[in-house]
Structure 1
Amino acid sequence: MELIGPTSQTYISQRTRLHYADWGNQDAPPLILLHGGRDHCRSWDWAAEELRHDWHVICPDLRGHGDSEWNNTGYYPMLGYVYDLTQLIHQLELAPVTIVAHSMGGNISIRYAGLYPGNVRKLVAIEGLGPSPKRMKELAETPYDGHLRNWFDAKRDASSRLPKRYDTFQTALDRMHEANSYLSREQAEHLTRHAVIRNEDGTFSWKFDPHLHAWPPENVEDRSVEQLWAQITCPTLMIYGNDSWASNPVKDGRIKHFGDNVSVSDYDRAGHWVHHDRFDDFMAEIKAFIG
């Protein structure tokens, strides 16, 4: 019987129930599609629909996102996300796995590929390297204790406010479309449908934990992460939108920390969400790359 859509599954990591969408075809090679910050697993639906016939597609919701549980502390270190991915691959026995990931998901996946190079068959990371060298230099101008105090203030602010409420779904949809003007209205509506919950009073709120706005200072780490970049052995494709805020590693010099197995492509008329902004071209490139 043809699968109409994904099933909702869960696994446990760090005593937390985490959700993933499983698109079936378990006998096919495993493929993880990992979303970015303040996003959700169903943002990959269009890609999963095209890939599920040849792959066993698994789309996790990061902790604090989508239908995964929030951390009681509202504290989300990057290392915890890497461990969650490690546990997913370990528990489902997915290695060697192919990974396509966006933004924070790309950052997580790149670290995993450096930690466990034998477990990743191929990797596609869309704008996943984090702050540019220029931005890191700017951040270094603030002493560490200053970053800590700023984070404490941001945490206190997040804890004192209820999640943003929108009176109508249409208002939430408008906000989604405003955040990425490259989206078609149809794309924005689909993303919003899976991004919001309906509150008891009939209003709508985003599913992600508001504390995710308070980014822990250790998540903007020093360049020791470059050691992990150098340890990646699988064929890796990094993708950038030329209209994005993200810095292309070929242009900013970070590509020097990677081996010859890593290539970079960029897209005109695309921002941070290349997989939405240039979907057809993106899909053609990754299909050719992952095989």
Structure 2
Amino acid sequence: MAPTHHYVTIEDTEIHYTAWGDPDATPLVCVHGLSRHGRDFDPLAAALADEYRVLCPDMPGRGESEWNPDRYDAASLSSIIVGFFEELGIESGHYLGLSMGGQLGIGLVPGPLTDRVERFVLVDVGPDPSGDDTADEGVQRIVDYLTDPPAYDRLTELEAYFRDVYDTFSAMTDAEWRRLARTSARRTDDGRFAPNYDTRIVEPLLLADDADDGPDQWTQFEAIDQPVMTVKAADSDILTDATFAEMRERKPEMETLVVDCGHAPALNVPEQIEPIRAFLEG
């Protein structure tokens, strides 16, 4: 099964998204990580499209969505996601957020999306990773590779770069790495291949330490009334063991899945996909 591609304008920004499955099925909105895009969910979406309308948007500055630096901060991205639900008429569905997508969901699910989201899947992120000292190294690792990405003459060279920079991902086949490279590449002005994101997306992360007046994510996390499932990478440097333990203490009813990898699970094999399916089915 292949996705269909769509574009919608939200807050004067064109957003690309892929759609899988029956348009009348229960929606599952999947929101990606900081420098990634909606095509990362292709394996998960293909597997779940028999039961769900899986919708995978590219956030501004990523994938095929418009580059708009005014929409790269957390508040703007959250507003884009709410607008996505509204524009597509999603009154009731599920939300899966990986890394940045999950952190945004922690604020959205008990807030503006509380009446629209039935079940919430967090993938390898918890409340306020920037405030977790043990996650500093992981956050800095992401900042380092986001800031000045290389460009290559050949797509195979870009694929080798992705294999190196994302070597903490759970295991992928050669075909899956090639798909990741093809869906994550853009041509530069001089015809070379580079990652398909605007490097300015890192700027809000660099300024995060100065933003002390934002909402407390632990309070937001505790306010989530919907069933929650957290998928944790065993060796994650973003969702640390200490944060994961506190999440389980504060929400003992939370369902969990631990995957043998670093940040982040690729959601590409039955061992990762089927527990998510079972959770969504309730």
**TM-score normalized by the length of structure 2:** 0.84
1:228 is aligned to 2:224: no
CA distance in 2, matches of 1:136, 1:117: 31
| Equivalent residue number for residue 147 of structure 1 | none
1:114 is aligned to 2:103: no
Q: How does 1:25-174 map to 2 (within 5 A)?
A: 25-73=22-70, 76-115=72-111, 116-129=113-126, 130-131=128-129, 134-135=132-133, 164-174=150-160
Alpha-carbon shift at residue 217 of structure 1 (Å): 2.3
Alpha-carbon shift at residue 200 of structure 1 (Å): 4.8
Alpha-carbon shift at residue 26 of structure 1 (Å): 0.7
Letter in structure 2 aligned against 1:59: C
Deviations 1:247-280 (A, max 9, x none): 1456552444x4454233312x21112134x722
Deviations 1:217-260 (A, max 9, x none): 2476566222211221111101111122121456552444x445
Q: CA RMSD in A?
A: 2.6
Alpha-carbon shift at residue 213 of structure 1 (Å): 2.7
8 Å CA contact 1:77–1:218 kept in 2: the answer is no
Q: Which runs of 5+ in 1 are unaligned?
A: 140-153
Alpha-carbon shift at residue 14 of structure 1 (Å): 2.0
CA distance in 2, matches of 1:106, 1:189: 26
Alpha-carbon shift at residue 136 of structure 1 (Å): 8.2
Letter in structure 1 aligned against 2:270: D
Alpha-carbon shift at residue 187 of structure 1 (Å): 1.5
8 Å CA contact 2:125–2:232 kept in 1: the answer is no
1:213 is aligned to 2:184: no
CA distance in 1, matches of 2:173, 2:130: 29
| Equivalent residue number for residue 274 of structure 2 | 284
CA distance in 2, matches of 1:121, 1:137: 30
Q: How does 1:227-246 map to 2 (within 5 A)?
A: 227-246=219-238
| Equivalent residue number for residue 140 of structure 2 | none
Letter in structure 2 aligned against 1:191: L
Letter in structure 1 aligned against 2:246: G
2:185 to 184, 196, 199: 196
8 Å CA contact 2:20–2:54 kept in 1: the answer is yes
Q: Compared with structure 1, are the counterparts of its residues 72 and 106 closer, same or farther at alpha carbon in structure 2 (3 Å cutoff)?
A: closer
Deviations 1:84-130 (A, max 9, x none): 11111112121221112210011112211110322211111101224
Structure index of larger Rg:
1
Percent identity between matched residues is 22
Q: Alignment partner of 2:89: what SS?
A: coil
2:164 to 163, 178, 181: 178
Q: Alignment partner of 2:261: what SS?
A: coil
8 Å CA contact 1:21–1:60 kept in 2: the answer is yes
CA distance in 1, matches of 2:189, 2:132: 45
Q: Which runs of 5+ in 2 are unaligned?
A: 138-142
8 Å CA contact 1:100–1:123 kept in 2: the answer is yes
Deviations 1:179-201 (A, max 9, x none): 23333322111011011112353
Letter in structure 2 aligned against 1:68: S
CA distance in 2, matches of 1:192, 1:91: 30
8 Å CA contact 1:250–1:264 kept in 2: the answer is no
Q: Alignment partner of 1:117: what SS?
A: coil
Letter in structure 2 aligned against 1:97: G
Mean CA deviation greater in 130-139 or 212-221 = 130-139
